[in-house]
Structure 1
Amino acid sequence: MEVIRQMVERTNAHDLEGMAALIHEDYQSEQPFHPARGFGGRAQMKANWGAILTGVPDLRAEVPASVQDGDVVWSEWHWWGTTEQGEPFDLRAITQFTVREGLVVRGRLFAELVEQGGADINDSVQAQSGHRPQLQD
């Protein structure tokens, strides 16, 4: 879990080179909720985070919980700040990182921007299933 601690520190320091140094050159990233967002390579990771750090100049990160099983680390992430346009940025994620020899070689990210407002649970279940939940006494 040392690599996670270092990633948080380097993210909060806006140390893009330091962040990239934790990622294997042939890193593979998946986003199962958004398959088209998958990519390969440290260069793309660095480009992505360069854009984020520029677009959210006060970005902060925390990992409230993390667990390791062999070379796989599961973590709960929270990134927040304010965009250059003055809009709030609030992203939550569960990540599954495979770490070998101190480098992240694979990432699976289950991430979403936090929705302020939006559908409640009844509306959400109805949109997913076509049926509105009916409470039973």
Structure 2
Amino acid sequence: MDASGIDRVPDGPVRRMLAAANRHDLEAMLTEFADDYRNTTPAHPARSFTGSVQVRKNWAALFAGLPDLSLTVHDAATGPAGRIWLEWSNRGTRADGSVQRAAGVSILTVRDDRIAAAQFYLEPVDHEPGDVNVAIGEAVRGNAGGGRP
């Protein structure tokens, strides 16, 4: 098995896009997206967008700001209507030497051999102290996602 886990993804545009991302080949990545690609981010609705132009802008910034960015697929599943579920993560080093990590799930829709849409649930990995009891307490007190007490 490939260390990136991309071989878990069925042949097609999602697999090609992930491989291109790991090569930092922006142009190859963009050929895998439909012009009217729709990215929906349910946990952060204001971050949702439509269009491959924004895909270019996002990934160009990621490649520039995280020059060693790598993606890893932990699991993948296919579903009806051209859907592919990915559990994946990424890691990259910022200019200041700090490491950025994110993990989550994306549900991608393939149409006409292009990625047409995604439900995007990728979040930064939280390295803050505190177990599940702390997280539930913060949720109940109303400051979940905010600063620590």
Q: Shared fold by TM > 0.5?
A: yes
d(CA) in 2 for partners of 1:119, 1:48: 31
| Structure 2 contact 14–115 (Cα < 8 Å) conserved | no
Residue 5 of structure 1 is matched in structure 2 by: 15
Please tell me whether residue 99 in structure 1 is matched to residue 106 in structure 2.
no
Higher-Rg structure is 1
**Distance in 1 (alpha carbons) for counterparts of 2:71 and 2:132:** 28
Task: Provide the alpha-carbon RMSD of the alignment.
Answer: 1.1
Q: 2:74 aligns with which of 49, 58, 64?
A: 64
Q: Corresponding residue for 1:122?
A: 133
Task: Give every structure 1 segment of 4 or more consecutive aligned residues whose post-TM-superposition deviation is greater than 4 Å.
Answer: none
- CA deviations on 1:42-99 (whole Å, 9 max, x unpaired) are 0001100100010000001111100011211100111102012211011112000000
The superposition leaves residues 12-34 of structure 1 with CA deviations (integer Å, 9 ceiling, x where unpaired) of: 10000111111000001111000
CA distance in 1, matches of 2:72, 2:135: 28
The question of 1:46 aligning with 2:56 is answered yes
Unpaired runs of 5+ residues, structure 1, are: 131-137
Q: Report the equivalent of 2:123.
A: 112
Partner of 1:65: helix, strand, or coil? strand
Alignment: residue pair count: 130
Alpha-carbon distance between aligned partners in 1 of 2:115 and 2:14, rounded to the nearest angstrom: 9
Whole-Å separation in 1 of the counterparts to 2:35 and 2:49: 12
> In 1, distance between residues paired with 2:50 and 2:129?
33
State the identity %. 30
Unaligned 5+ segments in structure 2 are 1-9, 142-149
Task: Give TM-score, length-normalised by structure 1.
Answer: 0.90
